[in-house]
A = this chain, B = another copy of it.
Amino acid sequence: MIGRLNHVAIVVPDLKAATDVYRSTLGAKVSAEEDQPEHGVTTVFIELPNTKIELLGVYGDNSPIAGFLERNPNGGIHHLCYEVPNIEEARDRMVKRGARVLGEPKIGAHGKPVIFLHPKDFCGTLVELEEA
């Protein structure tokens, strides 16, 4: 079912410093910052030849990544996002196989339907499935 690795999301305490690490130290191509008020994050994309890294910084007072940063003050990998052909079918497959889906399908940060899967059912990794 799963297709491409769409992105790896990394939460960072200082988005400008993290962007500079990827641009200057690792020599990668980086996008401009983009505020996403409806998701409580500011994003920067590291554009690799085969996939992308999504740097996530806090936006606003109720950011969903604030708790993660409290537990991981240096930042860390937050989730992996795999592409799927159809989000409803993916959700139904997960439920049928006993994996925990966190909430209902919703529109994600890229404007496409997504679901999130519980880390305890996926090797300690928060997994996002995105309709490609």
- Residues on A close to B: CB < 8 A? 1-5, 8, 10-12, 18, 21, 24-28, 48-51, 53, 55, 72, 74-77, 80, 82, 93-94, 97, 99, 119-125, 127
Contacts and interface: CB of A to CB of B under 8 A. Distances in A.
B82 A25 contact: no
Contacts of A49: 3-4
Tell me the number of copies of this protein: 2
Nearest to A15: B123
Given A5-B51, A25-B121, A74-B124, 20 more contacts: A1-B26, A1-B27, A2-B28, A2-B48, A5-B5, A10-B125, A18-B123, A21-B122, A25-B94, A26-B122, A27-B93, A50-B50, A50-B51, A51-B51, A55-B123, A74-B120, A75-B123, A76-B124, A76-B125, A77-B124
A94 B27 CA distance: 10
B2 A27 contact: yes
Given A21-B122, A94-B25, A124-B72, A5 B4 contact: no
Given A24-B97, A77-B80, A82-B26, A48 B5 contact: yes
Nearest to A26: B2
26 contacts: A2-B48, A4-B49, A4-B51, A5-B5, A5-B8, A5-B51, A5-B53, A10-B124, A11-B124, A12-B124, A21-B122, A24-B97, A25-B94, A25-B99, A25-B121, A26-B82, A48-B82, A50-B50, A50-B51, A74-B120, A74-B123, A76-B119, A76-B123, A76-B124, A77-B124, A77-B125
